[in-house]
Amino acid sequence: MRENYHTNLCGIDEAGRGPFAGPMCVAGVVLKNDIKELDDSKKLSEKKREKLFDIIKENSIYHIVFTSAKEIDELGLSLCLQNSIKEIMKNIEAQQYLMDGNTSFGIENLDFLIKADASIQEVSAASILAKVSRDRYMCEIAKEYPEYSFDKHKGYGTKVHTDAIIEHGYCDIHRRTFKIKKLEGLNIS
């Protein structure tokens, strides 16, 4: 057991900043115990992420924030990220908050480090919680919108996804403010 885990480092990372559809998910994690095999979620197989997800939840204090596509369209991505990080900071007490990336989004007491998700356990854990939580959501929502194959591409800008938008238009979970080159000039609603 880590000594004074409640006052240590809270790692923060997001999943779903860039897709055309679905929510953004931000997670914050303070580990109570060391966990082997943590890494940037993008470097791990889906099977490995799923296995680590439960291990992380059992061995940490964590908070996960979802922001809908509608909120992202209304408020903008940066403000939504700020709001999510602030919610995590309100719900998890720590001496230090560390975000993966190159900015603090203007938030006091938030440190940042590029590639922290590959080098800092707490940020790796947050990366995994955010990615798995979002992927699970996209697989569930795919049942409501089977024509978009969200379970396959998770809302990211694949050819299959853009072709589905051309054929079926946008659905309720698409981010309408995101500019998609392939769709420019087409009258899609």
Read off the pLDDT of residues 73-110 as tens digits, 9 standing for 90 and up: 999 999 999 999 999 999 999 999 999 999 998 999 99
Closest to 15 (Cα-Cα) out of 5, 26, 7: 26
pLDDT of res. 44: 94
pLDDT of residue 110: 96
Length of the chain: 189
Q: What is the pLDDT of residue 185?
A: 65
User: What is the longest distance spanned by two Cα atoms in the chain?
Assistant: 58
For the chain, the distance separating the N- and C-terminal CA atoms, rounded to the nearest angstrom, is 53
What was the pLDDT predicted at 188? 73
Instruction: Return the domain boundaries, the chain.
Output: 5-141
Out of 3.30.420.10, 3.60.20.10, 3.40.50.2300, 1.10.150.130, select the CATH number for domain 5-141.
3.30.420.10
Question: What does the pLDDT read at residue 189?
Answer: 64
Q: Quick one: 48 exposed, middle or buried, by C-beta within 10 A (0-12, 13-18, 19+)?
A: middle
Q: pTM higher than 0.75, yes or no?
A: yes
Q: Token pair for residue 92?
A: 């998890």
* pLDDT < 70 positions in the chain: 1-7, 184-187, 189
